[in-house]
A = this chain, B = another copy of it.
């Protein structure tokens, strides 16, 4: 029994490096991309990590595989795994469990995007639907885990998940350094805060002065407000956003402890700015970015982050979006003009 795990100590940059070794044979090393048109648009240098190219279409596979692989290395996971997720973590856990030969049960909202439900089923997981407004998904997952003697794979507030998700930032740092580029700042999507806290551990190990900003939907800017208040605050009850992957109501305990220490601040973006960013990604970058995956790009393109003369790392975190919603977002997106 690993005592330190029970205390859930905060992961470090070394844990992110260990995670990178653990997932190397299964995760995709996504490229670090650059577009002359985007650089001209913002007057700086933007290096994009397109995690939509990751296995399962989002960064979530990194954390899920790291967690479940670690579990099996320690002799656990024999009863399978259970997770609750709006969709991308669901796919990450289902795919990771399948690769490791474990059964998986995923508790998903009944209104999750069709593509996320279908893919999760496609990776062989059993799906249990819940009503987002009436039922407590965590309690449901815990009950299932108890019955099956299965292990819970939390979406973000867990050292192995944070370290695994942080490998996106570690790769970004290594890829930029390999090209002789030093980053001044980074913009990352933030829901529960796993991706950004883990990535920032690695990014600030590479560049101690780097400023990292949490990008969130305006109605779910709990991390931005919590950073200002130095205390975890929840979102308004009943808040809505098209960013179906960023609807967590409050920063995680571990993720916020890290983020409070590491982040420079938060940027809140409107659903309109998200649609405009998705349309820009379609038109200029030729990438399919889901709403939640586009918040950092939205922060940049809406002019809320000034990239002039700077080298900025940016994560587009996922691309699992139904074609109907995608088409509607492009249709409704207004024209963007370069922020001057």
Contact = CB atoms under 8 A, between A and B. Distances in A.
Interface of A: 28, 31, 33-37, 50, 52-53, 55, 57, 115, 279, 282-289, 319, 323, 326-327, 330-331
A46 to B, nearest CB: 13
A33 to B, nearest CB: 6
Contact of A286 (B34, B53, B279, B327): B53
A330 B319 contact: no
Contacts of A327: 323, 326-327, 330
A282 B330 CA distance: 14
A323 B319 contact: no
Contact of A53 (B33, B55, B330): B33
A282 B288 contact: yes
A241 to B, nearest CB: 21
Nearest to A319: B286
Contacts of A319: 286
Contact of A115 (B53, B57, B283, B326): B283
A57 B286 contact: yes
A33 B50 CA distance: 12
Q: Which 6 A-B pairs have the closest CB atoms?
A: A286-B319, A327-B327, A31-B31, A52-B286, A286-B288, A323-B330
B283 A286 contact: no
A59 to B, nearest CB: 13
11 contacts: A35-B55, A37-B55, A52-B286, A53-B285, A57-B284, A279-B323, A282-B326, A286-B288, A286-B289, A288-B288, A323-B327
Given A52-B286, A286-B287, A326-B327, 17 more contacts: A28-B34, A28-B35, A28-B36, A35-B53, A36-B55, A37-B55, A50-B286, A53-B286, A57-B284, A57-B286, A282-B288, A282-B323, A283-B323, A288-B288, A323-B327, A323-B330, A323-B331
